[in-house]
Amino acid sequence: MSSELTEIKTFIQATNPLDLLPEPILEKLIKQVQICYVRCDETLPPQGITDPSLYVIRKGTLSVIKNNQELIEKLAEGDICSVFCSQDAVSNTLVKADEDTLIYAISFSSLLEICVEHPHVGAFFTKPAAERLSDQVSKINEQEVVSSTLMNRSIGDFFSSPAVTIEETTSLQSAAMIMTERNFSSLLIIRDKALVGIVTDKDFRCRGLAKGLTLSAPVSDIMTADVQMIDVNASAYEALIKMNSRGIHHLPVSRKGQLAGMVTITDLMRQESLSSVNVSSMIAKAKDVTELSHISDLLPKLQVSMAKLGTSASSVGKTMSAIADAFTCKLIELAKAHLGDEPVPFVWVSAGSQARQEQMVSSDQDNALIIDDSLQEQHRPWFTQLAQFVCDGLAQCGYPYCPGDVMASNQKWRQTQAVWHKYFTQWIDKPDPKALMHCSIFFDMRSVYGKESLLEDVRQKMLKKTQGNTLFLAHLSANAIKLRPPLGFFRDFVLTDNGKHKNTLDLKHNGIAPVVDLARIYALSEGIEEVNTLKRLTQAMGTSSLTQGSGKSLFSAFEFLTMSKVKHQAKQLLEGEETDCFISPNALSKLDREHLKDAFKVIKEMQSVRQTTYG
């Protein structure tokens, strides 16, 4: 091989994704290279090149301009220009040399012919960034070895339907006969067709026989009231975690808000035993905060284990959030054991990443209390003590106090439903910077313990005010696009330039958070109740706020970024370091760097659309 070809080969070998080709294939490809010289201000393709071709920049810089005015990107030494791989793709795109530039041209048809056994190489150049990213996420998902098949299956695969119900006036004897005849361990109790309770074998023993009730007594005397349902589309894993954390074995299932059936812990546990479920079971059995604190030491190992198994970032987030819910529920129960039952109804809500079910190890607390409007002044000390006990307990279990004091222990976030209505009204009607900061936290809330309708009423009124509210959405959009993806014009990353994390990428603030913000805006625009980012994107797709294609691109970008975060944090946990979201590009493979650029490019484009929409 001549010295000239050797130099070309050395350069091409360092260019992604051509560096993935085997040596014999690469040598064939090198022989097809044409060396071209483009003078400053001249446009591509170079003189004499008529076939669709791929261009590798050896020296110099190129500008890629769309619609004769919009600068899309700049390409420099080592970059590849794939604009001219297809004749159809160049009608509105101009590529111009910013200085005298030396490039290597490769006929695209020759590339495909030589790389016929490596179709992913050709596909890399013909597919847009969003599609490349989607393909990569699909590959990762295919490789996922989830610790539980329950994560990927809905309750619809397990529950019994239709629901067997009896009226609350039914006698104990009649109820027992029905359970015996049908070999059921529980029955659902209704009043005027509405679910009001559940009765189980244990209730007959502990509340019926043990207390000497007569067989003619109504079943309402022994039933458990205020039963919570779970939607048929929820994951079976979520149901299992919920039952373990609350120490129950039966969970009514709803479809579109209506009672549809029942799922039992036996239905789910016969499938498999999960380490994360075991953690939740340990939490439910803990006797004090010290014991809970010891259990929390298992969480870093659990997150590392899931990362090693290839568990998706979405599943990791749901698992860690469910465990945080379990800790919270147990702490509330421990508090009530000392304080007595609540004087009026309340709901403990999580906010931020826990509410969105996207939490990881060492995430800060974000929580609040919504209390029934029947609250009297003499009741406040009970809720003050509850909040302080739970927040302190969570801190002991590895969930740091919120630096901004967004916790139920702060009286401002421990208020009646009426006050919460006022909060949201003020934030929406007067969206100043502080209000917008609160929106980014409290517009993502989820019930963890207590009377869920207290939160749902607040959410419904809030969504009525935000849907179609162009002034508020404009302010929210302007605030959301302040966090920009770290991409420079030269298709390279813009790295942090000072402090502890110098020369790294901030995945959280410059990648993940912008998608979370966009998904929240789409949800508020369309009146979507969901708070999980991927579910928000899914439900918003096809609406006036988000096209199907753009939604899928953002979905893939979010999955890839969160997967990168999970892998990064697993490595830190294994090395005994504190977790963060700062990644050095040098620690990534060349291909992962390209996919990361694709993800940032998708986000940048969607932020531009948002900016255009609301100026």
Cis peptide bond N-terminal to 24, omega within 30:
no
Low-confidence spans in the chain with pLDDT less than 70: 1, 87-90, 128-130, 138-152, 269-275, 309, 488-492, 614-615
**What residue type is 69 in one-letter code?**
Q
Cα–Cα distance for residue pair 244/237, rounded to 1 Å: 11
Torsion-angle region of 128 (φ positive above 0: left; ψ -120 to 50: alpha; else: beta): beta
Q: Are the C-beta atoms of 385 and 339 separated by less than 8 Å?
A: yes
pLDDT of residue 273: 40
Nearest to 255 by CA among 121, 146, 161: 161
Sign of the four-CA dihedral 509, 510, 511, 515: positive
Q: Are the C-beta atoms of 375 and 454 separated by less than 8 Å?
A: no
CATH fold of 3-126, please? Jelly Rolls (2.60.120)
**What residue type is 3 in one-letter code?**
S
State how far the alpha carbon of 95 is from the alpha carbons of 210, 356, 425, in Å: 85, 43, 50
Q: Where are the domains of the chain?
A: 3-126, 127-142+288-615, 148-273
Q: Are the C-beta atoms of 376 and 550 separated by less than 8 Å?
A: no
**What residue type is 486 in one-letter code?**
P
Cα 178 to its chain centre, rounded Å, is 44
**Domain 148-273 -> CATH class:** alpha beta
pLDDT of residue 183: 80
449 - beta bridge partners? Answer: 348
- 235: DSSP letter: B
Residue 437 sits at φ, ψ, to 5 deg, of -65, -45
Cα–Cα distance for residue pair 342/133, rounded to 1 Å: 50
pLDDT of residue 257: 83
**What residue type is 492 in one-letter code?**
D
pLDDT of residue 235: 83
